[in-house]
Amino acid sequence: MGSVADNLNNVIQLLPQEVTLVAVSKTKSEEMIMDAYNVGQRDFGENKVQDLVQKYEHLPKDIKWHFIGHLQTNKVKYIAPFIHLLHGVDTEKLLVQIDKEGIKNSRSINCLLQVHIAQEETKFGFSDEELIAFLESDRWKQLTHVNIVGLMAMASHTSDLVQIADEFRSVSDLFFKVKQCYFQENKIFTVLSMGMSGDYMLAVANGSNMIRVGSSIFGDRIY
């Protein structure tokens, strides 16, 4: 493993310009985040509310913080004042809570709806059918302080690259369908967050424009 700056460069070099790199800094120190910050990285991802709040308080205020974990409704309030993008919004109940906290903080909070693609039973997210049913309901249009700016997905945990590519492509198809059907006037629906250290090039080749990369930049995580 090289330095954080070298690793970051290696990832960025291969990316098309329109792809946003979220550097996933969960479990990593503020010093390591600053190593990336000092070579220009501004988007960082965390999956624990408490760690995120602490890092937000200590680190430069022009960092764009992404929450990439499973968010509990009772914890939305802690990150609502500053969060740049919430990646894993997987229920209507959570979206309603985010809207409430947006109102309290006088800001609209950017959200990605998580789509369930992986075969594993434990994965969170809307199925294709649930997502379409929810968007058809129009209830989301009453949520004045959430911006649904796109979709997020994770591929199955498998070494079968054909399967992973198929999964990414099916989410990408869904993304364009949703964009066309529900966000034609409202042009905010632009983000497709797919791809991690092991599969981000495959994700980008299949339509992703935001990747979440941790271990390839910061090294393996020790819990």
Q: Which spans of this chain sit near ligand PLP (rule: CB under 6 A)?
A: 24, 26, 47, 68, 154, 196-198, 212-216
Residue nearest to ligand PLP (CB): 214
* Residue placing its CB nearer to ligand PLP in the complex, 41 or 216: 216
* Residue placing its CB nearer to ligand PLP in the complex, 47 or 208: 47
Find the DSSP H helices in 4-127. Answer: 4-13, 30-37, 49-58, 76-79, 92-104
* Residue placing its CB nearer to ligand PLP in the complex, 94 or 143: 94
- Min dist. Cβ of residue 198 to ligand PLP (A): 6
Sign of the C-alpha dihedral, residues 193, 44, 219, 122?
negative
- Min dist. Cβ of residue 65 to ligand PLP (A): 14
* Residue placing its CB nearer to ligand PLP in the complex, 68 or 178: 68
* Residue placing its CB nearer to ligand PLP in the complex, 73 or 197: 197
- Rounded distance, CA 106 to CA 145, Å? 8
Instruction: Say if residue 77 is exposed, middle or buried (CB neighbours under 10 Å; 0-12, 13-18, 19+).
Output: middle
At 142, list the tokens.
């009453």
- Rounded distance, CA 179 to CA 109, Å? 19
**CA distances, 114 to each of 40, 51, 72, 138 (Å):** 28, 22, 14, 18
- Min dist. Cβ of residue 64 to ligand PLP (A): 16
- Min dist. Cβ of residue 123 to ligand PLP (A): 10
Query: With contact defined as beta carbons under 8 Å apart, do 36 and 3 qualify?
Result: no
- Min dist. Cβ of residue 16 to ligand PLP (A): 18
